[in-house]
A and B are shown apart, each in its own frame.
Chain A
Amino acid sequence: MTQTVLKFENVSTAYGKVQALEDVSLEVNEGEIVTLIGANGAGKTTLLMSLCGDPQPQKGKVFYDGEEITGKPTSEIMRNGIAIVPEGRRIFSRMTVEENLNMGGFFTSKEDYDEALKYVFRLFPRLEERFDQRGGTMSGGEQQMVAIARALMSKPNLLLLDEPSLGLAPIVIQQIFEVIEQLRAQGMTIFLVEQNANQALKLADRGYVLENGKIVMHDSGDNLLVNEDVRKAYLGG
């Protein structure tokens, strides 16, 4: 019996009067890659951020590791084994790669930190070369590496990825997806939000389709990939 790491129970979130999420329920189990696909403005990022407590859901409950986290402050939620690679990367551009990673591993013990550092250098050898370079002077792909590495520095249980392929060259996207594959092999649980439905579904164990703030479909990644409606709407026929 696999354990549920993340669970949304009838969650609704609104920005003022605009309803962004409506009655969303979903589950992510240990060791799985689950992807959430949907068009621009469907509420994908809102869904991720509701999990992080920013904004707080209006209704419904969010559970992490069996414990309810709805209503907790963001910093408290994120300190317990959840890490995020947010939309637009949001690395600290005036800080060096080292300092960025340092912030990601703020609460990591010394031994774990050194171990995590070795691990991210193996994943992204480029970061070792650029260790003292400022984040803002790097290319988009390198910045995405910094963002992923920063998230990994806390040795998370659950990794949230918000559109990691956005704005990157196809070859870099390929690299990023390979890294996600490697993380899965390590046993990490991954919740991947993507607009690049084709690649995300190929990789994922299961997928959810979000439309106008509602989950309209839920199936295994392979089934969604061949589903007529999904093909029409997200994979270009």
Chain B
Amino acid sequence: MADQFYLFIQQLFNGFTLGSAYALIAIGYTMVYGIIGMINFAHGEVYMISSYIGFIVIAALMMMGVDSAFLLITGAMIVAITLTSVYGFSIERVAYRPVRGQNRLIALISAIGMSIFLQNYVRVGQSSRDIAMPPLVEGGWTFGNPDGFEATLTYMRVVIWVITIAAMIALTLFVTRTKMGRACRACSEDLGMTNLLGINTNFIIALTFAIGAAMAAVAGVLLGTFYGVINPYVGFILGLKAFTAAVLGGIGSIPGAMLGGMLLGIAEAMTAGYLSAEYKDVVSFGLLILVLLFRPYGILGKPEVEKV
């Protein structure tokens, strides 16, 4: 009985960690969708690039003799967030702005093209092999039955949760308290009207891409170091899952993306723990189908109102 409980706790830990990553990446999908109504299919690749940047920075710092995990993670985080935001900003400028205002399908195809381009661009630069890295933060707390199942809460998990929560609080404060953040929300409600208030909506759109990329970078550095292995293709499936999370929570809604990400992460962890790890994708995409059938606007989304 107690074993069952600790097993459950362990799955919950796994779920929160995975969910943190889904939630952070889902924010990028949901914000971009909210503002220009397009799915940025290159967003998973942005995550992947941030993982690489994080790895490179950590490796470089280690070579310079830095061995404090705190400094390594902070350094990787700062550089990855900055550079990845630049990627997000530039991707919008190069691949989406020129086709904006035309048929939505064109932007979608442009996004898929961007995704393939980024994957191969990293593959050429970094080779397609897995890159591995030793864990930065070791150890953790163990509790449970020493003779039966023991649940472990590694310190790295705690680091991930704390940073994820901090990033989400920062984002929430940004969109509710600052002028720029409020302008992002204004744009997502009525782009034309925001423009009529004199606000440069092109800049706000690019800013939204940059913020989404920064959130993905937080996930990229944390998850990259947590799992310890990356390759140029990690962004694809994770991006799809995060997109599922965004739809689950209600696409266009930022709290929805956070909630959807967590739910999806927990659902997958429970499936892996109690059913079989092979079924976790079945469960997450099955969940997507169910949501689309019974609540197409997601858990926290609002039904689209036809303007008259």
Give residues in A with beta carbon < 8 Å to B. Answer: 52, 54, 74-76, 78-79, 83-84, 86, 90, 92-95, 99, 102-104, 106-107, 150, 154
Given A103-B183, A106-B183: A75 touches B200 (CB 8 Å cut-off): yes
Of A74, A84, A102, A107, which is in contact with the most chain B CB atoms at under 10 Å from its CB? A74
- Asked if A154 and B190 sit within 8 Å, CB to CB, the answer is no
- Asked if A92 and B179 sit within 8 Å, CB to CB, the answer is no
Q: Is B199 engaged at the interface, CB distance under 8 Å to the other chain? A: yes
Give Cα A74–Cα B195 distance, bound, in whole angstroms: 6
Chain A residue with the shortest CB-CB distance to B189: A92
- Asked if B199 and A92 sit within 8 Å, CB to CB, the answer is no
Give Cα A83–Cα B197 distance, bound, in whole angstroms: 7
Q: Collect the chain A residues with CB atoms within 8 Å of residue B183's CB.
A: 103, 106
Give Cα A68–Cα B167 distance, bound, in whole angstroms: 46
Contact of B186 among A74, A75, A103 (CB under 8 A): A103
Q: Place the interface of chain B in its size category.
A: 10 to 19
- Asked if A78 and B197 sit within 8 Å, CB to CB, the answer is yes
Given A106-B179, A106-B183: A95 touches B198 (CB 8 Å cut-off): no
Give Cα A77–Cα B193 distance, bound, in whole angstroms: 13
Of B182, B190, B196, B201, which is in contact with the most chain A CB atoms at under 10 Å from its CB? B196
CB distance from A148 to the nearest CB of B (A): 13
Contact with A along B219-258 (1 / 0, CB 8 A): 0000000000000000000000000000000000000000
Give Cα A18–Cα B240 distance, bound, in whole angstroms: 43
Chain B residue with the shortest CB-CB distance to A81: B198
Known: A75-B195, A103-B186, A106-B179. 10 other contacts (CB 8 A): A78-B195, A78-B198, A90-B193, A92-B185, A92-B193, A93-B189, A95-B182, A102-B182, A103-B183, A103-B197
The 6 A-B residue pairs whose C-beta atoms are closest, nearest first, are A79-B198, A78-B198, A90-B193, A75-B200, A92-B189, A74-B195
- Asked if A84 and B189 sit within 8 Å, CB to CB, the answer is no
- Asked if A94 and B190 sit within 8 Å, CB to CB, the answer is no
Contact with A along B155-184 (1 / 0, CB 8 A): 000000000000000000000000100110
Give Cα A84–Cα B198 distance, bound, in whole angstroms: 10
- Asked if A94 and B189 sit within 8 Å, CB to CB, the answer is yes
Give Cα A93–Cα B182 distance, bound, in whole angstroms: 13
Q: Collect the chain A residues with CB atoms within 8 Å of residue B179's CB.
A: 102, 106
Q: Collect the chain A residues with CB atoms within 8 Å of residue B194's CB.
A: 103
| 26 A-B pairs with C-beta separation under 8 A | A52-B196, A54-B196, A74-B195, A75-B198, A75-B200, A76-B198, A79-B198, A83-B197, A86-B193, A86-B196, A90-B192, A90-B193, A92-B190, A92-B193, A94-B185, A94-B189, A95-B186, A99-B182, A99-B185, A99-B186, A102-B179, A103-B194, A103-B199, A104-B197, A150-B197, A154-B198
CB distance from A2 to the nearest CB of B (A): 26
CB distance from B198 to the nearest CB of A (A): 4
CB distance from B81 to the nearest CB of A (A): 26
CB distance from B37 to the nearest CB of A (A): 16
Q: Collect the chain A residues with CB atoms within 8 Å of residue B186's CB.
A: 92, 95, 99, 103
CB distance from A61 to the nearest CB of B (A): 21
Q: Collect the chain B residues with CB atoms within 8 Å of residue A74's CB.
A: 195-196
Q: Collect the chain A residues with CB atoms within 8 Å of residue B189's CB.
A: 92-95
Q: Collect the chain A residues with CB atoms within 8 Å of residue B200's CB.
A: 75
Q: Collect the chain B residues with CB atoms within 8 Å of residue A102's CB.
A: 179, 182
Give Cα A104–Cα B195 distance, bound, in whole angstroms: 11
